[in-house]
Structure 1
Amino acid sequence: MELKDLFLTPIYLLLFYGIAFAVRKKVTNKFTKKYFIPALTAKFVGALGLGLIYQFYYGGGDTFNYFAHTKVVYQAFSDSASVGLKLIFGDNTKFDPELTRYIAQMYWYGSSTEYFVVRVAGFFAIFSFCTYAVIGLMFAALSFTGMWATYITFVRIFPLAYQKLALAVFFLPSVFFWGSGLMKDSLCVGALGWTFYGFYHATIEKKNILFAGVLGALGAYVLVSVKVYILLSFLPPALLWVFNENNQRIRSASVRMLLKPFFLVLGGATALLGTTKLTAGDDKYDVDKIGERTRINSTYLTSQVATGSAYNIGTFDGSIGSMVKVAPQAVVVSLFRPFLFEARNPVMLLSALEATLFLYLTIKLFYRTGILKSLKLIASQPILTFCFLFSIVLAVGVGTNSGNFGTLVRYKIPLMPFYLSALYIMQYKAAVPKKPKRPQLNRLRNTPRLAVTE
């Protein structure tokens, strides 16, 4: 960070808060309104805290590597607006002699996923005098819009738990810390939120389909561009969610029983087709190669750690079968580790405290409700089925790929709000034997489509 960060950051914060207070009444109601500014503040704290931790604790890292690339783009824009725009919006797979001297300074120019982050940061740099802290705040604000979309979607589905859902979505320390600054993760948690919002409103609620579909498609595009495996983990449970909802709306119990296997097979086939088409030809995520890539990534990341943060979930040879074998350990390590006694530094301790909370709530809920009753409840509620399946699928993926807790804490943040939200919704469902009366969450006057939390 530089001296200009100290001068410009307060000015931009005032601007961002002014915008936030202006739009708050349009995207909230009397129940959700009180969480809007605190949740945004948590994101801003996370963005600034991320920069400070990387500068003074780690002494550098990915966030400053992104910023170094961003400064090259900003310099190019200062030299020639057309050249800068080419670097931001142009095709980085084609040679352009006009860009040569700038490309030579950017190691990640040929990497589509990392360079996507640079594109976004470069665009923000134009409006922030290429100030690291301000760009971080812009990433936080962009990420916040998607997380707010996640929250109001959950509240729309289950209004009774609006207070605990706010905790699950906004106030988990790892989520607002790692998912707020100039990093891939900020874009991913925001994009996942818009994908979730768009998918629910377009396919489940079936209202404002075009508007919701466009937002969901934009979110999916960002996920494909940055971390496609999140979308791959999302698609199968989401499609199953659609078919479960449609199945439940059939009045005849006998017809429901007859059609349920059809919905399951169709959902699975659609998900398989979507995931294979999305990754065909991709060296990193092609279904035929994903097992081998997972083995290589895990081995590499584990070998790079000499601080005691590495973990071992067993051996696997890169085949899908071996991944299935280590899947249970991968789920445990992603959701419930590191344990408190495994924490070796303050960052790991923070993650360990969250993992302990997840473990405590999971054991408490399943113990009080009963394992069989809990499983029946999950199977009978499509939103719970979706959340738990998505969390488990992504947990297997990140648990087998990480190899150490340092990277795991970042990789797993997209699943954390969904898993904890599912626990809280399940807690309410288990406590109320009969269908509860929905509270009157009336819309504010002139509330647009984003605030449909009645």
Structure 2
Amino acid sequence: MSGLQHRLIHFESMMTVFFHILLISTIFVLIYRKTANGDDKMVFFTFSLLKICCGILIGFLYWSFYGGIGDTIYFYEQAEVLFQYFHGDRISFSSWVGFSPLNLSLAEFSAQYEPRTFFFVRCISFLYAFSQGNYFTMSIYLSFFSGLATWGFAYQLGKCCRMQKRAIYVALLFIPSITFWSSGLLKESLMTMSIYGLGYAVLMWKNNYKNWIYSMPILVCLLVLWQVKYYVPIVLIPILCLALFFSQSNFLSKFRFRTKIALFLALLIIGGLGMALMHPVFNSGRFFELVRISHDVIARNSSVAIIHFQNTENNILFFIKNLPLAWFTGVFRPLVWESFNAFSMLWAIEKGVFTVLVLIASFLSFKMKFNQTEKWWGIAILIYSSILSSVLSLATPNFGTLIRYEVAYMPFLWLLVLMTLNKYKVNLK
């Protein structure tokens, strides 16, 4: 390669980086200007910068500390493979975007073996093409847009609960492990984008029932969630619908609270089963078997980060017997003495702080009165988080994996705890 060609390639690379910086900066400035309050502007600026830094740090963590091994590297490499097959006319455009079969062997493209991974890889292969294959540019984009969705939800929720704004911002934006592991070139970034995008659209629609334009992003977010983390919408949709209904319905006021709780749980079971049976994992009747298989595979490949559960021959008995420990693990572990490296120690300290705050909030909650909306959303968060924390902990008995998976539910537990503490503080004034 001649010196001129090398300089041209370098110039083209610099122009590409400049273009992406300009695009992200433009989007940032537009949203920054629409943020009315000065304090909110500072929070948005800090959080956006933090998310981008987290996306870059995740790349360095996997490329350097883990030696180029890990999910994010695999996703990137498979996205590259898929795009190169399209670029080299090995597959058609319709096959690339998903309108027709790929007709590739597993040896040629292994990501298609697992549907959720295949969906995510296909999505980021478009980002690969747009960013010209730069891993860190792709990571920054996913982190930034994941952060935008989170900010949009937190900002709207803060407008609905002005006295709780600081608690909302801390819980959703600045819990270290959650902010970090919802960034980068990982499925959790896309999942976070979808969950909070859904939350934002629901809040906007709730404020104006006649504006059906928000039904479109709701459907898109649910579709993406179903494809990338199917268990989240299976649990989330019935709980979200019931919480919206019970917190707003006046005709339920004539019933005692215990009766309403029984009705809520009955409808939740019916709705949850209806949602679950739409997915092959559940309608095949192999749910408990597949949880056990996932547990055993991950346990065999884990060492210091393994989570130990009691072993039984029967899959259903294994699930039931370990359910309490799985719930406790998903919410409160690792404990400080269970940490196995510097990263897990930081996470354990964070969980220790959370545990102390839970104990304080639980004690103070008996001294406060909660309105109907607060009660039902609190119940909804507890049920949603309990289901996900229990099943995910049992199916993935590895602390290194669990720290990423808990991004789906831990922000809402932090939200519940911090809002309870803040309510008590406000009531004292």
Change (3 A) 1:366 1:18: same
CA distance in 2, matches of 1:180, 1:360: 27
Is 1:25 the equivalent of 2:33?
yes
Matched residue, 2:125: 122
Matched residue, 2:4: none
Structure 1 residue 408 displacement after superposition: 0.8
Change (3 A) 1:28 1:213: farther
Matched residue, 1:158: 161
Matched residue, 2:139: 136
- Following superposition of structure 1 onto structure 2, how do residues 255-294 of structure 1 map, counting pairs within 5 Å? 260=260, 263-264=263-264, 267-268=267-268, 270-279=270-279, 282=280, 284-286=281-283, 288-294=285-291
Change (3 A) 1:218 1:329: same
Structure 1 residue 243 displacement after superposition: 2.9
Change (3 A) 1:415 1:262: closer
Matched residue, 1:361: 357
Residue identity matched to 2:404: R
Match of 2:48 among 31, 40, 45: 40
Matched residue, 1:447: none
Determine if contact 2:83/2:96 at 8 Å carries over to the other structure. no
Determine if contact 2:288/2:315 at 8 Å carries over to the other structure. yes
Structure 1 residue 155 displacement after superposition: 1.5
Determine if contact 2:225/2:233 at 8 Å carries over to the other structure. yes
Is 1:54 the equivalent of 2:62?
yes
Structure 1's unaligned 5+ residue stretches are 437-454
Is 1:334 the equivalent of 2:330?
yes
CA distance in 2, matches of 1:229, 1:421: 21
Q: Deviations over 1:108-157 (max 9, x none)?
A: 12422101111111111221111111111111123123212331343144
Alignment length (residue pairs): 418
Change (3 A) 1:269 1:405: closer
CA distance in 2, matches of 1:104, 1:154: 47
Matched residue, 1:450: none
CA distance in 1, matches of 2:193, 2:24: 17
Matched residue, 2:424: 430
Larger RCO, structure (CA 8 Å, separation 6 or more): 1
Matched residue, 2:406: 412
Matched residue, 2:7: none
Matched residue, 2:213: 211
Structure 1 residue 386 displacement after superposition: 1.8
Change (3 A) 1:46 1:84: farther
SS of the aligned residue for 1:278 comes to coil
CA distance in 1, matches of 2:203, 2:282: 26
Change (3 A) 1:10 1:402: farther
Determine if contact 1:146/1:190 at 8 Å carries over to the other structure. yes
Determine if contact 2:167/2:422 at 8 Å carries over to the other structure. no
Structure 1 residue 4 displacement after superposition: 11
SS of the aligned residue for 2:128 comes to helix
Structure 1 residue 26 displacement after superposition: 2.8
Residue identity matched to 1:181: G
Match of 1:395 among 386, 389, 396: 389
C-alpha root-mean-square deviation of aligned residues, in Å?
3.1
Residue identity matched to 1:64: I
CA distance in 2, matches of 1:290, 1:273: 12
Change (3 A) 1:28 1:341: farther
Structure 1 residue 409 displacement after superposition: 0.6
CA distance in 2, matches of 1:161, 1:46: 26
Change (3 A) 1:192 1:321: farther
Determine if contact 2:47/2:173 at 8 Å carries over to the other structure. yes
Is 1:83 the equivalent of 2:67?
no
Determine if contact 1:295/1:317 at 8 Å carries over to the other structure. no
Matched residue, 1:302: 299
SS of the aligned residue for 1:314 comes to coil
Identity of aligned residues (%): 20
Structure 1 residue 381 displacement after superposition: 2.0
Match of 1:71 among 80, 102, 108: 80
Between stretches 24-33 and 347-356, larger displacement belongs to 24-33
CA distance in 1, matches of 2:284, 2:233: 14
CA distance in 2, matches of 1:318, 1:209: 51
Structure 1 residue 24 displacement after superposition: 2.2
Q: Deviations over 1:171-218 (max 9, x none)?
A: 22222222111111111111111222334444x545355232222211
CA distance in 1, matches of 2:353, 2:202: 29
SS of the aligned residue for 2:21 comes to helix
Q: Deviations over 1:43-63 (max 9, x none)?
A: 111111111100111111111
Matched residue, 1:242: 244
Change (3 A) 1:300 1:6: farther
Structure 1 residue 71 displacement after superposition: 1.3
Between stretches 321-330 and 350-359, larger displacement belongs to 321-330
Determine if contact 1:312/1:403 at 8 Å carries over to the other structure. yes
Determine if contact 1:5/1:131 at 8 Å carries over to the other structure. no
Q: Deviations over 1:232-284 (max 9, x none)?
A: 2213322331232133x34x8435769836852663255234323431xx1x4
- Would you identify which runs of 4 or more consecutive aligned residues in structure 1 move more than 6 Å? 3-6, 256-259, 374-379
Between stretches 63-72 and 205-214, larger displacement belongs to 205-214
CA distance in 2, matches of 1:122, 1:327: 38
Structure 2's unaligned 5+ residue stretches are 1-9
Residue identity matched to 1:288: G
CA distance in 1, matches of 2:423, 2:320: 31
Determine if contact 1:298/1:402 at 8 Å carries over to the other structure. yes
Is 1:13 the equivalent of 2:21?
yes
Change (3 A) 1:427 1:392: same
Matched residue, 1:170: 173
Q: Deviations over 1:314-359 (max 9, x none)?
A: 3355645643432221121111111112111122122212211211
> TM-score, structure 1 length as denominator?
0.82
CA distance in 1, matches of 2:359, 2:13: 46
Between stretches 128-137 and 377-386, larger displacement belongs to 377-386
CA distance in 2, matches of 1:156, 1:318: 50
Matched residue, 1:220: 222
CA distance in 2, matches of 1:15, 1:88: 24
Structure 1 residue 95 displacement after superposition: 5.6
